[in-house]
Amino acid sequence: MRNREQMILDHLEGTPAFSYAGLASLFGVCAMTIRRDVERLVQRGAVIKTLGGVQRAATETGNLYETELFSRLAMQRREKRAIAHRALGLLEAGQTVFMDGGTTCLELAKLVAYEQKGLTVVTNSMMVCREVGQNGNNVVLGLGGQYDPASLSFVGAACEAETAKFFPDIAVFSTKGFMPTEGTYESFVPTMHIKQSIARHSRQVLLLVDHTKFGVRALCRVLRTAEIDVVVTDVLPSAEHRQALKRAAIKVVIAVPEKNEWWTVAPTTTRER
């Protein structure tokens, strides 16, 4: 089961404050258990105790960095969490995993921190570093470069050069748009070459994409469909998109947000990278 302290923080992201009784009812534990959880969070500086309850601390990253990235965290959040939960099951201890700084990958990073051990996570995202690095369960390697305050990530020539040093087992990407016949699309050009380089060096490319991204183009194409191995999404794609994915020998994994269930549509052929 996921760490209850992190779950409390997640609930406080969408609600200014919560009572002890409300949290106890939500998690099915006694109020004293919740008070002990809250006390540990207070010691970390993550929350502030209020009369009969708790609220998220003003110094938490979500409140400190009001950015374009933060504004997107709440969009399709239930779907992103379901996708991240399913993607977590595709990772194994001992693997080296690259994760980009997209909002779906951030949901995965939260899960990795408390439900996975033994990964080496490579990223150019400050937020992914922060989430995965909350404890010593996994190793985090950050790619340096020019800091971009909008994405809370490192980009530029220095960061692109750093990618040449790493050969991940799995590269996990999110995206702004995905055309199954063409590939992934982004509006933020500085991350394009970073993702392309990592994809070339990775044994497997995993794309996390909710249903709103299908059929969407943006400013630049980043990955070709042929470079993707697995797509994790929340709704079964249209017949046209399924055919395109099947032709590309891409495995499609569907995560159902309401029930946190999933099923897999496996390709009929094996594609050589």
**For residue range 215-261, what is the model confidence (pLDDT) as tens digits?**
999 999 999 999 999 999 999 999 999 999 999 999 999 998 765 44
- Residue 263 burial (10 A CB sphere; 0-12, 13-18, 19+): exposed
Residues with Cβ within 8 Å of 256's Cβ and at least 6 positions away in sequence, in order, are: 82, 234, 262
- Which of 26-35, 57-66, 117-126 reaches the highest mean pLDDT? 117-126
Residues 108-136 have pLDDT tens digits of 999 999 899 999 999 999 999 999 998 88
Q: Bigger pLDDT: 50 or 1? A: 50
Q: Bigger pLDDT: 27 or 228? A: 228
- Of the candidate ranges 137-141, 190-194, 257-261, the one whose mean pLDDT is the lowest: 257-261
User: Average pLDDT for residues 6-31, to the nearest whole number?
Assistant: 78
- Of the candidate ranges 64-73, 77-86, 123-132, 256-265, the one whose mean pLDDT is the lowest: 64-73
Contact between residue 169 and residue 200 where contact means Cβ atoms under 8 Å apart = no
pLDDT of 63 = 38
Q: Rounded CA gap, 9 and 178, in Å?
A: 31
pLDDT of 135 = 86
Q: How distant, in Å, are the alpha carbons of 63, 87, 136, 140, 149 from that of 91?
A: 30, 7, 17, 15, 29
The token pair that represents 230 in the structure block: 């697995």
Q: Rounded CA gap, 206 and 214, in Å?
A: 15
With a pLDDT cut of 70, the percent of the chain lying above it is 85
Contact between residue 230 and residue 265 where contact means Cβ atoms under 8 Å apart = no
Confidence of residue 64 (pLDDT cuts 50, 70, 90): very low
User: Average pLDDT for residues 161-173, to the nearest whole number?
Assistant: 96
Average pLDDT in the chain: 85
Q: Bigger pLDDT: 72 or 195? A: 195
Residue with tokens 């799995």: 170
The token pair that represents 266 in the structure block: 């496996």
Contact between residue 179 and residue 217 where contact means Cβ atoms under 8 Å apart = yes
pLDDT of 118 = 96
User: Average pLDDT for residues 99-115, to the nearest whole number?
Assistant: 93
pLDDT of 270 = 45
pLDDT of 111 = 92
User: Average pLDDT for residues 165-181, to the nearest whole number?
Assistant: 96
Q: Rounded CA gap, 268 and 192, in Å?
A: 30
Residues with Cβ within 8 Å of 208's Cβ and at least 6 positions away in sequence, in order, are: 80, 83, 84, 87, 102, 104, 105, 108, 172, 173, 174, 232, 233
pLDDT of 260 = 44
The predicted model scores a pTM of 0.74
C-beta contacts of 141-145 below 8 A and 24+ residues apart: 141/166, 143/194
Q: Rounded CA gap, 69 and 127, in Å?
A: 10
User: Average pLDDT for residues 72-77, to the nearest whole number?
Assistant: 65
Q: Looking at the predicted structure, is the pLDDT value of residue 269 above 50?
A: no
Q: Rounded CA gap, 139 and 136, in Å?
A: 7
Q: Bigger pLDDT: 72 or 61? A: 72
Q: Rounded CA gap, 144 and 156, in Å?
A: 9
The token pair that represents 37 in the structure block: 């959880």
